[in-house]
Structure 1
Amino acid sequence: MRTAFHLTSGDEDQQKTVLTIAENLSNDETIEMDDIVVVAQSKGIDPLTVGGTHSGTVESLMTEGIEFRACSNTLDMMDIEDGDLVEGVEKVSSGASELTRLQDDGYAYLRP
């Protein structure tokens, strides 16, 4: 099974919720997960930036195999450079198109 999380909120508690649910899903032994992706855009981009709120959690989750993707439209709009992203975060053309592709590839879509 594969799941894509959509992270758009600038609210720190909401961001933590998304990251916690992704981690819980990754650690749930009652379900076989092949891939977990978190796609961030808009104000949800902050945890994917170096020094951002919850960036340490993002780094930790990446070591567990959870992938993070950042919307390039958001990065441009917020003047965030590639070097400002946590190492290992993938930049994608747009959050919406990435989520559409993932869903077309059979990923479950979650937006907690």
Structure 2
Amino acid sequence: MALMLSATVLRAEMPVNPGKPFAETFLLLQLSDGDPEKQDMVLSVAGNLLEHYQPDLVDIEITTFGPGVRLLYADNDRRELIKSLMAQGVRFSVCMNTIDTIERGTGNRPELIPDILRVPVGVAHILERIDQGYVLVRP
């Protein structure tokens, strides 16, 4: 019975993503910097990891907050690369607290790339993913 219990405990510690049922590696990339070079680096890391692990074996999410949300603006010139990564299963999440703050400060709500995950608070989302077993990387 102890063997069955420990196998259940081990299985419960692994993140579960129905969209990536064969994933063995679970990675969360944080982007809180609006610098275009930093944006390029995060997208490059995601692409390199897809090649290294194969898209079905790695679950990657890029979470943005603060100035990093600019990556997910609809008019970002990296939009096609983002769409390509999304087609390979990379998820993108944006902090809506940051978007609300931008809207209050400028009077305009930025248009975001469709099909991204909108989370209430980016940092809280990161903490939740870490609790689920994702490894956080801040390139």
TM-score by length of 2: 0.73
- What one-letter code is carried by the residue in structure 2 that aligns with 1:70? V
Among residues 62, 73, 81, which one is paired with 1:49 in the alignment?
73
> Aligned equivalents of 1:32 and 1:60: distance in 2?
15
* Unpaired stretches in structure 1, ≥5 consecutive residues: none
Query: In 2, distance between residues paired with 1:62 and 1:55?
Result: 10
Q: Distance in 2 between matches of 1:57 and 1:32?
A: 19
Query: Greater CA deviation, 71-80 or 97-106?
Result: 71-80
Q: More relative contact order in 1 or in 2 (CA 8 Å, sep 6+)? A: 1
The code of the aligned residue for 1:103 comes to I
Identify, as 1 or 2, the structure richer in helix.
Answer: 2
1: CA distance, partners of 2:113 / 2:35? 19
- The match for 2:114 is 87
Cα distance between partner residues in 2 of 1:28 and 1:19: 14
TM-score (norm 1): 0.90
Aligned residues: 111
Q: Alpha carbon RMSD of aligned pairs, Å? A: 1.9
Report what 1:96 is aligned to: 123
Q: Tell me how far 1:55 sits from its aligned partner.
A: 2.3
Contact 2:60-2:90 within 8 A present in 1 as well = yes
1:38 paired with 2:65, answer: no
**Residue 131 of structure 2 is aligned to residue 107 of structure 1:** no
Question: Which amino acid is 2:70 matched to?
Answer: D
- What secondary structure does 1:28 align onto? helix
Counterpart Cα distance in 2 of 1:56 and 1:103: 28
2:50·2:58 contact (CA, 8 Å) conserved in 1?
Answer: no
Partner of 2:26: 2
